[in-house]
A and B are shown apart, each in its own frame.
Chain A
């Protein structure tokens, strides 16, 4: 009987705390920003920024010292390519350089005066490419276009020089071993499709931690004694508090998670190879891990704003530690170790592989397992820091109570 009574009471308390937390959430504008506005608006903004995926028509300047039909063919073919646009013709390299310095072009193609002559003499001709290395994507476009065009023109020249009998023989002679270039998973090499899945998963963790931290800060500041946990009939029993609060956050982030992990990719046509069920299966431990991680962090900050100073700057390093921008195989061991502390590392890896690469749940078993371990470990941590908080609160109250009693007695004495 008493077990049932306890359970009933516990459920009541959890629901009470959950209800109170929900009320706090919608009242606090800081929490509203990080729980609702940022997760909804930011993905849209990022998707807009990266919506064009690749850069086309990168402007280049041409310095044509050759002035022959062959050099003009080279220029025409470059201009006709998707990635490069011939924006200026410069008289010499200095003029072209000043065009680069004024940001009018991103690179220079220099065709030397002996270009045509060399080709006709059966010597190797060169085309010089000068790249502004400030933008990697522009460099890639400029260099690869020059390479492609020179290879194409080279093949034409080769077949002319080779003295072959049949078309087929020409073809084989120009390329004895054929090859196919097959980019898989994000075949267009789009920037958005590559970076955004990681960013979406990271937004989920960061907004959760910021929101929970702000909510905790508010609770602390509104509390008369500056304590995180209010003294109330319902707030005894650490597990009840942790469970009640987590339930409130989970409710919001079940919706936000669906929006971030499934809605946004669908809206902007980013890769989405994972099935609903596997997304749910991976999101569950991830969101739980993030919630308990957030609750642990929230106990460490004294003032509500401090959590922003601590958590915002860490976003960019966290993104790099997931191995999306910089290959995971090349992250130094120290940082690999530190990255294991954050749920986002494994959340991003699992999500990218499930959703962008079409892996099965079996392939991300390691990440999945670690996310559950994170959820468990951070739950324990949250439990410990909360019970510490409660003990602190009780101690404080006792001291205050004793002080009050003393004052009352003092007054009684005085009146006598």
Chain B
């Protein structure tokens, strides 16, 4: 009972701190919402559409023009310009006007009709990986289609049925099942990693910041006094409000993304709640631990921000962890976001049973317990440290 009343007093005190320093409102509510809006509107289409491509058509016959028109009709490509030569088209890529182009040399139609196997080429830039890969798909399809159209005409003349023609054109067909994300939506793929990562970044920073400012403004002693000199009570009382606010943000994000925007969620709602809770608590654990290791505001904030920024690479969502060097694969365990992402993709995105992600759960629980190692140090810091600018 004594503890409860102490915690209640600390909660009131913390509420006052959060109200007075506007930075908390920004980092806990405004910025996370801003980031969520940014990424979901940036990639609203899911896939980039109507990306500018060029055509170098030196043949200029009705056959090649129809090829160009069909390329233009694709969802992802839009033919914006025709260039008289390959080098001019390349310069257009360098000027950032197009991402790729189709090159049809002179005499293509003639050679095609007399079956002398002409060769067309398509060029695309991989400096924007997503644009390059997607345009490559379109350009490749258009080139194969060109081939197929001619073959089809010949075979039909020979008297084959449509079914036979299809077989002869493509004897083996790949039947693709893109599980959980059939649209190949980049929004689904990136937003679900980056936005939670951002929220975790803010939790890291705010957790370290709120302890650090106690020393900076010389209120550490007061904090310990209210908590009856019990560091556990002090920590719980101090972070209770923040936990609740962050939980609200995380649940708000999950609701918006999975229920309003309809992102794939094959797991149960219970799983989302569990994931949100462990995400917030593990991140707070990390932030408090970082402060406990180096009880200085600037050092702990630096470590938290550097760690959080590195998380976006070590999470292994864009570039998979299995493609990294061995030591890095192990190091990735030290990043809470990595475990969050693994649980998300196993239990939420794909909806597999929670037991398959047990290791990552255990790891996040370990992050939550980390502050236990530095409790004494934090207490000492609160009572004796003096802020040096």
Which A residues have a C-beta under 8 Å from some C-beta of B? 29-30, 33-34, 38, 42, 45-46, 48-52, 54-56, 58, 74, 100-103, 119, 122-140, 143, 146-147, 150-151, 153-154, 157-158, 161-162, 171-173, 175-195, 214, 218, 221-222, 303-306, 308-309, 312-313, 315-317, 320, 323-332, 334-335, 349, 352-353, 356-360, 363
Contact = CB atoms under 8 A, between A and B. Distances in A.
B115 to A, nearest CB: 5
Given A46-B313, A133-B179, A183-B126, A330 B49 contact: yes
Name the residue in A193, A222, A312, A323 with the highest tally of chain B Cβ atoms < 10 Å from its Cβ: A312
B175 A128 contact: yes
Contact of A316 (B143, B172, B180, B194): B194
A23 B354 CA distance: 55
Contacts of B116: 172
Contact of A191 (B96, B174, B178, B319): B319
B128 A313 contact: no
Contact of A48 (B44, B328, B345): B328
A108 B308 CA distance: 34
A222 to B, nearest CB: 6
Given A29-B299, A330-B48, A101 B346 contact: yes
Nearest to A188: B126
Nearest to B310: A45
A30 B302 CA distance: 8
B356 interface: yes
Contacts of A135: 316-317, 320
B127 A194 contact: yes
Contacts of B190: 325
Contact of B328 (A34, A49, A146, A190): A49
Contact of B305 (A146, A312, A323, A328): A312
Contacts of A171: 117
Interface stretch (B130-138, B241-249, B277-285, B378-386): B130-138
B198 A49 contact: no
B252 interface: no
Interface residues of B, number: 119
Contacts of A133: 178-181, 184, 189, 349
A327 B130 contact: yes
B173 A150 contact: yes
Contact of B90 (A46, A137, A184): A184
A124 B167 contact: yes
Given A52-B325, A172-B115, A126 B43 contact: no
A138 B150 CA distance: 34
A54 B286 CA distance: 31
A311 to B, nearest CB: 9
A49 B314 contact: yes
Contacts of B194: 316
Contact of B198 (A45, A316, A327, A330): A316
Contact of A157 (B50, B171, B206): B171
15 contacts: A52-B324, A101-B356, A126-B175, A135-B317, A138-B320, A140-B133, A178-B147, A183-B124, A194-B127, A194-B128, A194-B129, A218-B389, A316-B197, A327-B128, A330-B51
Interface of B: 23, 26-27, 31, 35, 38-39, 41-45, 48-52, 90-91, 93-96, 99, 108, 112, 115-133, 136, 139-140, 143-144, 146-147, 150-151, 154, 163-164, 166-181, 184, 186, 189-190, 194, 197-198, 201-202, 205-206, 209, 212, 216, 297-299, 301-302, 305-306, 308-310, 312-314, 316-320, 322-325, 328, 342, 345-346, 349-350, 352-353, 356, 389
A119 B171 contact: yes
A333 to B, nearest CB: 11
Contacts of A357: 93-94, 125, 127
Nearest to A74: B172
Contact of B126 (A55, A153, A189, A218): A189
B50 to A, nearest CB: 7
Contact of B174 (A42, A46, A126, A328): A126
A356 B38 contact: no
A131 B95 contact: no
Contacts, number: 327
B320 A184 contact: no
Main secondary structure of the interface of B (DSSP, over half): helix
Contacts of A353: 94, 96, 127
Nearest to A54: B323
A304 B298 contact: yes
Contact of B356 (A102, A119, A138, A179): A102
A123 B85 CA distance: 43
B353 A101 contact: yes
Given A33-B302, A102-B356, A313-B35, A124 B170 contact: yes
Contacts of A150: 172-174
Contacts of A154: 170-172
Contacts of A51: 325
A330 B117 CA distance: 37
B42 A309 contact: no
Nearest to A307: B301
Contacts of A218: 389
Contacts of B349: 133-134
Contacts of B163: 123-124
Nearest to A179: B143
B330 to A, nearest CB: 13
Contacts of A305: 209, 212, 297-298, 301
B167 A332 contact: no
Given A50-B319, A172-B117, A363-B94, A177 B126 contact: no
A160 to B, nearest CB: 9
Contacts of A360: 94
Given A126-B172, A189-B133, 7 more contacts: A50-B319, A125-B172, A133-B189, A134-B350, A175-B147, A176-B147, A221-B389
Given A46-B313, A146-B174, A194-B127, A329 B27 contact: no
A147 to B, nearest CB: 5
B123 A182 contact: yes
Nearest to B125: A185
A334 to B, nearest CB: 8
Contacts of B122: 179-182
A308 B27 CA distance: 11
B51 A329 contact: yes
A96 to B, nearest CB: 12
A173 B133 CA distance: 28
A319 to B, nearest CB: 9
Nearest to B264: A133
Nearest to B164: A122
Contacts of B51: 327, 329-330
Nearest to B44: A332
Nearest to A355: B127
Contact of A327 (B99, B324, B389): B99
B356 A183 contact: no
> Which 10 residue pairs across A and B have the least CB separation, nearest first?
A101-B352, A359-B94, A179-B143, A133-B181, A55-B323, A221-B389, A134-B345, A186-B126, A150-B172, A327-B131
